[in-house]
Each structure stands twice: as C-alpha cells, then as structure tokens.
Structure 1
Amino acid sequence: MLPICLRDTEKYGRGLFATRAIKTGELIEISPVLISYENEWKYLKKTILLNYCFTWGNNYEHTAIALGYGSLFNHSYTPNAMFTYNIDNLSIDFYAIADIDDGQEITINYNEDSEDKSPLWFDVID
C-alpha cells in the first residue's frame, strides 16, 4: 500500500499527504509515464495537461504525463520530496528528501533541483 493519499490542501486545491511517517531516502511513488513527443507539444500546451507535464528525454525535448499520483504533487521551494527520471523504466520516481510526518503534505520543487528558486509559470504560495 502506498504511503500517500489525495486530499484538499486548503491552499492549492488537491495535494498528496503522507498516510504514515516516511523516512528520508524512502521511495514514495513510481509513476509510469506517457510520452508526448516534441512535435506534439503545440497541441498539448493548449490543454489542461499543460499544468501536469514533466519534461522528458536526454535533452528534455519531449513531454511526459505521469500516471498514478505523479502529476498531483504540489510545488514548494522548500520541498520534502524530489523526483528522478527513470528513462529505462519509463517512469518518474519520487523520493523523500526529508523525514515526512504522518498527515504532512508531500511537495516537490517543479524546477527539478530542490534548491532552485527560479520563477514558475504561476504565482507560488509557499
């Protein structure tokens, strides 16, 4: 059973929360991905999926839609989780980078690097 559940954040809408304590380094979720190739981006960016996509590929030339809970992690500039691209497995893997308490929201930095404070395409509420 996954250590996460989806519920209202009272800040961002839906978000993912720990259903038990999660230790630093623990694998939280393996999200299989659907790949949208470079030439399809012009269509994809016109849909709601724009807000749920990850870059993909050796040069980030493609787009990935994470299945499972993968596209539902909220952003934070002080995240408690991170993601890695698993190109061979066609998945995005999410790991705890800090101890996460039962009931605590699990967040990632959408900039990929947990310390990257670069602006995003929306106003960040942190």
Structure 2
Amino acid sequence: MNKNVYLKRTSKKGLGVFAARDIKDGEIVESAPVLVFTPTDRKNLEKTPLSHYIYPWRSTRGAALAFGYGSIYNHSYSPNADWKQNFKTQCMVYRAIRPIKKDEEITVNYNGEPEDQSPIDWFEVEK
C-alpha cells in the first residue's frame, strides 16, 4: 500500500491521484510495476477502453499498463510530477518536480517531459 497518495474523484477529470502528505521536490511518489504488451497487443488495446490507461513502452514499441496508481495520474501542462520508464525493473517511476502539498492533486505531462506543451490529440485536455 502506498502511503504517499490516495484516490479521489475530481470535478472535471474523473479519478485523480492526491498527496496523502507533503511531498518534497525530487522525492519518488510511486514506483509502479507495469504489464508490458507487444506492438500487436498495443494496436488491439487502442480499440478498447484501456487505451486511456496505457503508456507507450519505448524499449519494445509496445505498450505498458501501470499498476498501483500509475495509470490514474491526470495530465497537466503545469505538472508537479514527472514519470520515467525503468526498463530494467519494468516500472514507471513518478517523481515530484516541485514540493507537493498534502491533499494537492498530483499531475504529470502525458507528453513525457514536464515542459512539453505539444498538443495531445488522443484525448480532450481540460483547460
């Protein structure tokens, strides 16, 4: 059980991941194991509701479904956390990129880099 975070319904984005305590800049929020899918599996998954919860898995060009809270972090162009893929341990690692206050929603940039402002065309971004 992760004592850093909890789930809560948001007003506009469905479920979100929130800080259960103050989290320091640079601190690992979660290391989520993943289930890795082949490129063929990825194409099939993209036709299902799971398409909103998978990440591209760069080492195989397939996809990964993060367990724990990993597939529930919401997107922001001004995120307070980032995510990195650890191919050796097959985990998604979520890390605070600034201090996060208790009960604040933890968000990541789905583009992969916190400063990347590229449009995301595979779902509707809340403004």
Relative to the length of structure 1, the TM-score reads 0.95
Matches within 5 A, 1:26-105: 26-58=27-59, 61-105=61-105
Unaligned runs of 5+ in 2: none
**Root mean square deviation of aligned Cα:** 1.1
Structure 1: 4+ residue segments shifted above 2 A: none
Are the equivalent residues in 2 in contact too, given 1:2–1:29 (CA < 8 A)? no
Aligned length: 125
Cα distance in 1, alignment partners of residues 62 and 6 from structure 2: 29
Segment drifting more, 43-52 vs 104-113:
43-52
Partner AA of 2:103 in structure 1:
G
State the SS of the aligned residue for 2:71.
helix
State the SS of the aligned residue for 1:72.
coil
Partner of 1:116: 116
Unaligned runs of 5+ in 1: none
Per-residue deviation, residues 63-121 of structure 1 (Å, max 9, x unmatched): 00001100000000000000011100010000000100011000000000101111112
Per-residue deviation, residues 17-65 of structure 1 (Å, max 9, x unmatched): 001100000000011000110121221111111001111133x611000
Cα distance in 2, alignment partners of residues 34 and 25 from structure 1: 26
